[in-house]
Amino acid sequence: MALNKEKKAEVVAKIGELLETSKLTVIAKYPGTSVKSFQELRRQAVDNGTTVSVAKNRLVKKALESNDRFSGLDTSVLTGQLMYAFNAEDEVAPAQVLANFAKTQPSVEFVGAIGAEGQFLSAEDVQALASLPSKDQLRAQLIATVNAPLTGFVGVLSGNIRGVLNVLSARAENIS
């Protein structure tokens, strides 16, 4: 369906706003992906705080050019059927969402990403980001690391008390 000028301006403004607030914008090819699969991807993405959008590359290029931070980017890779994943809260989430989706949809392939500072990341860099643990997983690992010495210390203290109780109960059995 052809877009009129007003709709195109709205799309450019929306993409520009998403680019401005996003910590990482992941770009991926999606040839042959069904609408039903896209709906499932969007549901998974929303759970992660990620917005997945499909827009004409020409409109995305206009949105990039209208922002000073992104105006110097090489947009030659923006060809073909592309989807864009934006996330304003987590740098890794859009890459992880698309990587998980690509496991069930092998036709999905990373093209690259645009960082918050306006630099372009290669597809290999995006794949490496997708393999990193999420913020929640990192927080859990940090808590477990901090908690481990305390758990060991409590175990040592309770071991001494347990030993004293065992000696006392053995003495009590011998006396009776």
pTM: 0.74
- Sign, CA dihedral 117-61-91-129, equals negative
Q: Tell me the Ramachandran region of residue 110: left when phi exceeds 0, alpha when psi lies from -120 to 50, beta otherwise.
A: beta
In tens, the pLDDT along 133-142 reads 877 788 888 8
At 19 the pLDDT is 85
pLDDT surpasses 80 at 115: yes
Report whether pLDDT(159) > 60: yes
Give yes or no for residue 153 having a pLDDT over 60: yes
pLDDT of residue 28: 92
Q: How confident is the model over 92-104, as a mean pLDDT?
A: 89
pLDDT at 34 over 60: yes
Band of pLDDT at residue 2, cut at 50, 70 and 90:
low
**Rounded mean pLDDT, 93-111:** 88
